[in-house]
Amino acid sequence: MASHPTARGQRPTPATHARRALVLGYLFFLVVWPVSLVVTRTFGDGNHLAAALQDPAVVFAVQMTVVVAFWAVVINTVFGVGMSLLIVRYDFWGKSVLNTLLDLPLSVSPVVIGLALLLAYGPRDGYFAPVLDAIDLQVIFSVPGIIMATAFVSLPLVIREVVPVLQEIGTEQEQAARSLGAGGWQTFRRITLPSIRWALVYGVVLSLARSLGEFGAVKIVSGNISQQTQTATLVVEEKYLEFERGAAYATSFLLTLIAVAALVIVTVLRPKEERV
Amino acid sequence: MNPVLTEPTGTTRRRRPRQKASTLSRPAAIGLGVGVTWFSILVLIPLALISFQAAGGGWGVFLETLGNAQTASAIGLTVRQALLVTLVNVVMGTLIAWVLVRDRFWGKRALEIIIDIPFALPTIVAGLVLLSLYGPESPLGVNVANTSHSVFLALLFVTLPFVVRAVEPVLMELEPEVEEAAASLGASTFTTWRRIILPSLAPSIASGATLSFARGISEYGSLVLLSGNLPFESEVASVRIFSYIENDNPAAASAVAVILLTVALAAIVTLNLISQRVTRHG
């Protein structure tokens, strides 16, 4: 009769210890040990990080990643907050279909995303190639395409965080503000934005982590040209395959650092949101 | 979508009773227009073009691509490994969620971060770190690189959080009193699990499993370094699409992509049906 031994202060049974050990062992071998190796391989035999930061290809790629992720996150934040407000606050034809479609990017393979953008905006036989030629805009094998691919993969993350909070807070405060004469923008800035701010921060941090780490879609649309369209994740692959393992691990270390920092920020923020 | 549509009184057209009228104000309607346009440019049109490309070649290209033994084997391997990994996730994910919710020990908070690492870590880095521990230079002496086991391992890593994160909130809501009551009435641990706990968790396990499967069949980044992409051994569907693109064969790439998209869509629809059922019964 001990299915939940530690609940309500009961003494742990052998079954509890067995479950705990199994879970800890599983996570250690699947996640903790492998991920910790990125640190030992970067600093184990000399400081590969310092060397990698002297490598122009690595430096360029890291800068490129930061710029691309910044724009993708900005686009997704504006789009995400707007869409969340529309979905929660209004009724319109096709809303449930739109709602379902907005989740699509999370389930589509990055390679398929790359292929889709290539078919639409490819320079030679892309569907929109004539239009892009006319306005002299190169999307594929260039920065706009990389930003689009990155925005695509992380599109639903802000929406998924903001929508539940908007649903929960309801419209009473907004209606009160409106009845006291506040305009639409003022109501949003003074009432709506403060109440969704933690959800928004959470969504932005997740989008940022996802954007910095995108690989498959970017590999296809960028053309993977060193020091022109190469992002940090692409450099990891190239350096590894070129037997510059140190540089590959050092770049991975930077990416891991950002990913773990993002998770820690989010975990620290979560209880705060619940306490308010 | 008429922006000023409020009450269509006096019209002869009959509205279906369940359909709600549009409540959009004019600025909201403009916003919706801009949003949907961007969404179409970025997501809907490009994805639709894949279907057109695949359909444009006719059934011939479709059947030829799927008839290719290497492609068929890649799709088979992908679906098989994704199902296998999902099965492991159903068991281990539920167990991990159980320990996170019901157990108390020092450092449990760190586990919450560890569970989410596969979400946040770039997939190429995931592949690299798994290769470091389970590749040719493994400190454990285990080398799965370039085998189908490497596909299993990579998918296991990237899909770890899905079932855990789906089950955890439901488990938190579950009252231990119900289980105590069942136990005090003489139910064994097994009976309590089967009759009380499992039915409450089943929908969330199913939705986590769906997400895990959808992610599994579409994985690419974590496999490129680890699996070696050997035809008939460790080459997955995404890698197959990638080589079709590189060989300038978008029709064949689209055919394989359409299959992946169809499976992903089916997974989403299943997920929606499950969550609707939960809402109805909840």
> A86 and B35: CB-CB below 8 Å?
yes
Compare CB distances from B242 to A34, A104, A111 and report the shortest one's residue.
A111
DSSP string covering A14-39: HHHHHHHHHHHHHHIIIIIHHHHHHH
Gyration radius from chain B CA atoms: 24
Any CB–CB contact under 8 A between A13 and chain B? no
Any CB–CB contact under 8 A between B132 and chain A? yes
Contacts of A184 in chain B (CB under 8 A): 27
**Best mutation target, B124, B152, B218, B239, to test chain A (most A CBs within 10 A):** B124
Any CB–CB contact under 8 A between A37 and chain B? yes
Q: How far apart are CA A208 and CA A214, in angstroms?
A: 10
Q: What is the pLDDT of residues B24-69, one digit of tens each?
A: 888 888 999 999 999 999 999 999 999 888 887 777 787 888 889 9
Residue of B nearest to A214 (CA): B122
Phi, psi of B234 (to 5 degrees): -135, 15
Q: What percent of chain A has pLDDT over 90?
A: 50
Phi, psi of B212 (to 5 degrees): -65, -40
A residues 215-254 near B, CB within 8 Å?
215-216, 219-220, 232-233, 236-237, 240-241, 248-249, 252
- Element at A248 (helix H, strand E): helix A245-275
Contacts of A263 in chain B (CB under 8 A): 113, 116-117, 120
Q: pLDDT at position A2, please?
A: 41
Examine the pLDDT at B19 and tell me if it is beyond 70. no
Compare CB distances from B250 to A22, A37, A119 and report the shortest one's residue.
A119
Q: Which residues contact B185 (CB under 8 A, 6 or more apart)?
A: none
> A16 and B103: CB-CB below 8 Å?
yes
Contacts of B242 in chain A (CB under 8 A): 111, 216, 219-220
The mean per-residue pLDDT over the stretch B220-236 comes to: 91
Residue B46, SS3?
helix
The mean per-residue pLDDT over the stretch B75-82 comes to: 92
> B120 and A263: CB-CB below 8 Å?
yes
> A3 and B192: CB-CB below 8 Å?
yes
Compare CB distances from A115 to B20, B128, B257 and report the shortest one's residue.
B257
> Amino acid letter at A160?
R
Any CB–CB contact under 8 A between B182 and chain A? no
Whether residue B250 contacts residue A118, with contact meaning beta carbons closer than 8 Å, is answered with: yes
Q: pLDDT at position A38, please?
A: 92
User: Which position has the higher pLDDT, A211 or A187?
Assistant: A211
Examine the pLDDT at B17 and tell me if it is beyond 60. no
> B122 and A255: CB-CB below 8 Å?
yes
Q: What is the dihedral of CA A91, A92, A93, A97, to 10 degrees?
A: -70
Residue of B nearest to A103 (CA): B268
Q: How far apart are CA A213 and CA B167, in angstroms?
A: 26
Q: pLDDT at position A136, please?
A: 85
CATH code of the domain occupying B58-281: 1.10.3720.10
Contacts of A45 in chain B (CB under 8 A): none
> A90 and B24: CB-CB below 8 Å?
yes
Gyration radius from chain A CA atoms: 23
Whether residue B214 contacts residue B267, with contact meaning beta carbons closer than 8 Å, is answered with: yes
Compare CB distances from B123 to A112, A155, A213 and report the shortest one's residue.
A213
Distance between A124 CA and the closest CA of chain B, angstroms: 12
Q: How far apart are CA A5 and CA B58, in angstroms?
A: 61
User: Which position has the higher pLDDT, B193 or B76?
Assistant: B76
The mean per-residue pLDDT over the stretch B275-282 comes to: 61
Q: What is the pLDDT of residues B175-218, one digit of tens each?
A: 778 788 888 888 777 788 777 788 888 888 888 888 899 899 99
Structural domain boundaries of chain A?
12-45, 55-275
Q: How far apart are CA A133 and CA A110, in angstroms?
A: 26
Q: What is the pLDDT of residues A178-196, one digit of tens each?
A: 888 888 888 888 888 888 8
The mean per-residue pLDDT over the stretch A5-31 comes to: 80
pLDDT band, very low/low/confident/very high, at B223 (cuts 50, 70, 90): very high
CATH code of the domain occupying A55-275: 1.10.3720.10
Q: How far is CA B245 from the centre of its chain?
A: 24
Contacts of A222 in chain B (CB under 8 A): none
> B125 and A255: CB-CB below 8 Å?
yes
Q: What is the pLDDT of residues A122-170, one digit of tens each?
A: 888 888 988 888 888 888 899 999 999 999 999 999 999 899 899 888 8
A12-21, A97-106, A130-139, B261-270: the lowest-pLDDT one: B261-270
Structural domain boundaries of chain B?
58-281
Measuring CA to CA, how many Å separate A53 from each of A30, A67, A227, A238, A248? Answer: 30, 17, 14, 16, 12
Q: pLDDT at position A66, please?
A: 94
Q: How far apart are CA B44 and CA A102, in angstroms?
A: 10
> A27 and B114: CB-CB below 8 Å?
yes
Residue of B nearest to A7 (CA): B102
Helices (H) and strands (E) in chain B, counts: 13, 0
Q: How far apart are CA A246 and CA A253, in angstroms?
A: 10
Q: How far apart are CA B229 and CA B222, in angstroms?
A: 12
A20 CB neighbour count, 10 Å cutoff: 17
DSSP string covering A253-272: HHHHHHHHHHHHHHHHHHHH
Distance between B63 CA and the closest CA of chain A, angstroms: 19
Q: Which of A136, B168, A106, A119 is nearest to A128 (CA)?
A: A119
Contacts of A152 in chain B (CB under 8 A): 42-43
Three-class DSSP labels, B106-135: CCHHHHHHHHHHHHHCCHHHHHHHHHHHHC
Examine the pLDDT at A256 and tell me if it is beyond 90. yes
